[in-house]
Structure 1
Amino acid sequence: MKDKANDRTDEYGGSLENRCRFTVEIVEAVANEIGAERVGIKLSPFSTFGECGDSNPLELGLYMVNAVNKYGILYCQMVEPRMETECSHSLMPMRKAFNGTFMVTGGYGRQDGINAIAENRADLIAYGRYFISNPDLPKRFALNAPLNKYYRETFYSHDPVLGYTDYPFLE
């Protein structure tokens, strides 16, 4: 979907609508097959991971939430632009535009998540890294207990010795 990665010249490249066409077609097909109430999408318009940036990520994000609104899908999960250094963008325009449950992710801690919900910046907060090192994260958050540190080098390892296997669960 991003113009710095999509160099196609057919109906799936060029304009914003064309670059988003494939994703929108998938959302439509899946919603028609299993029901929109079972469909969600995760978008990261501000991310430049893998050199896949966009010249106008705000426009891309708004286009996509408006496009998927037509299908009445359950949720849209968006990655915070704060993952990028010195980014002044906000997800609020997408939050306001999306008709379903709006979930955000990207570097949230306990209090950040509480604040985002209280300030109506999101309906739900997704926690990735902290769940990997704290599978009892909801309980830790409820108790305001300390969190285990996470180590990126062990994420998603096929080797159980390197991965998180010995969790210090709270009693």
Structure 2
Amino acid sequence: MESEDSDPDALGLYMAKALNKFNILYLHMIEPRVIGSRVLEGVENEAPHRLLPMRKAFKNTFIAAGGYNRNKANQAIADNYADLIAFGRLFLANPDLPKRYELDAPLNKYNRSTFYIPDPVIGYTDYPFLQEA
């Protein structure tokens, strides 16, 4: 079942503020790059930075995800846009992502067509690890 909110930014801001009264340890938000099942035009590999009001409203650790690579993640942290950045698709395709980032090694490309399919189960455990010389 798909659903949308008429004002998702206002709802997100309201929720971020409301969670403060419970002293939740962290809030993990995903950049709004999709509406329902449709990827927004031009943001497949971009983080549009629409979470800033929620980041400012939430008092504890703020984790952002969606469209980040190493450089964009480091910049988001440096700009105080987030405390931490989560990597989904890149980590899925690169189970050794921290090591690849440390060595500035090339990344495996993820295959979106294998996401969320039950059979055959491919793409979640069979991406190659970095082969160091």
> How many aligned positions are there?
122
Higher alpha-carbon Rg: 1
Other-structure match for 2:108: 148
How far residue 76 of structure 1 moved from its aligned partner, in angstroms, is: 0.5
Give the SS at the match of 2:22: coil
1:165 aligns with 2:121: no
Deviates further, 109-118 or 80-89: 80-89
Aligned-residue offset at 1:95? 0.4
Mapped partners of 1:161, 1:57: distance in 2: 33
Are 1:58 and 2:9 an aligned pair? yes
- Cα RMSD over matched residues? 2.3
Residue 118 of structure 1 corresponds to: 78
Unmatched 5+ residue regions in structure 1?
1-49
Return the alpha-carbon distance in structure 1 between the equivalents of residues 127 and 9 of structure 2: 41
Offset at residue 147 of structure 1 (A): 0.4
Could you tell me the percent identity over the aligned residues?
Answer: 56
Q: Which secondary structure does the structure 2 equivalent of 1:113 belong to?
A: helix
Gaps of at least 5 residues in structure 2 are: 35-39
Q: TM-score when scaled to structure 2?
A: 0.79
Q: Which has the higher helix share?
A: 1
- Residues 166, 106 of structure 1: alpha-carbon distance in 2 compared, 3 angstrom cutoff: closer
Does residue 1:108 correspond to 2:68, yes or no?
Answer: yes
TM-score, with structure 1 as normaliser? 0.63
Flag the 1:79–1:166 CA change in 2: closer, same or farther, 3 A.
closer
